[in-house]
Chain A
Amino acid sequence: DTAVSQTPKYLVTQMGNDKSIKCEQNLGHDTMYWYKQDSKKFLKIMFSYNNKELIINETVPNRFSPKSPDKAHLNLHINSLELGDSAVYFCASSHIAGVNTGELFFGEGSRLTVL
């Protein structure tokens, strides 16, 4: 069973379109994340939810809107796509139990290409 699964794996779309990426984890974790990895492999956190509550919201254009219907799911909706949104988006989850825990489990990534 895949621990953190995200769909779609590949997404090619035109500028100006709206698209969504879905993520589900079956690890029973209480915290989920969205990271963006650019063409230079730099990973930057975008959002984090803990028990469906938004706890991290980095400097991300408000065209990006995360939604967590329950603690096993975290979706990412992107409006009015721009060329610079092309990247690989990773979903991850972790269990937070004090300051010394919290290894992340990553999905396989969703490669978004905006033409």
Chain B
Amino acid sequence: SQQGEEDPQALSIQEGENATMNCSYKTSINNLQWYRQNSGRGLVHLILIRSNEREKHSGRLRVTLDTSKKSSSLLITASRAADTASYFCATRNSGGSNYKLTFGKGTLLTVNP
């Protein structure tokens, strides 16, 4: 079954604007990860946030995690055309198999120059 659900499904912005993508999930997690996928390419890991963390930064990326609401957000600041890609959240659930990483359906971000 689907764990993460990204919102919105598609987002189109102008270069320089900020982009916010949200992810909701259903079960308890050990960590939540965000990945980027450029068209026709494999997924690339962006950032991992543990269940006991609330916020994490990496360059122009800011991720928040609210375990009470079972949701996370990815903020990309000062977007660039090169940020155009699909972004996926993925959860590693607590309990059960620690090896399984379950992906959401993704948000397609288009950054217009």
Secondary structure at the B interface, as helix, strand, loop or mixed, is: strand
Identify the B interface with A (CB < 8 A). 2, 30-31, 33, 35, 37, 40-45, 48, 50, 86, 88, 90, 92, 94, 97-103, 105-106, 108
Cα separation A56 to B101 with both chains bound (whole Å): 11
Cβ contact of A100, chosen from B50, B90, B103, cutoff 8 A: B50
Contact B99 A42 (CB under 8 A): no
Contact B101 A108 (CB under 8 A): no
Cα separation A99 to B44 with both chains bound (whole Å): 21
Contact B42 A56 (CB under 8 A): no
Partner-contacting stretch, out of A11-19, A43-51, A61-69, A75-83? A43-51
Cβ contact of A56, chosen from B41, B92, B97, cutoff 8 A: B97
Contact B42 A106 (CB under 8 A): yes
**Count of interface residues, chain A, beta-carbon cutoff 8 Å:** 28
Contact B42 A45 (CB under 8 A): no
Minimal Cβ-Cβ distance residue in B for A108: B42
Binary flags per residue of A8-52, CB closer than 8 Å to B gives 1, else 0: 000000000000000000000001010100001111110010100
Cβ contact of A105, chosen from B37, B40, B45, cutoff 8 A: B45
> Which residues of chain B have C-beta atoms less than 8 A from A108's C-beta?
41-42
Cβ contact of B43, chosen from A40, A48, A56, A90, cutoff 8 A: A90
Contact A42 B44 (CB under 8 A): no
Contact A103 B98 (CB under 8 A): no
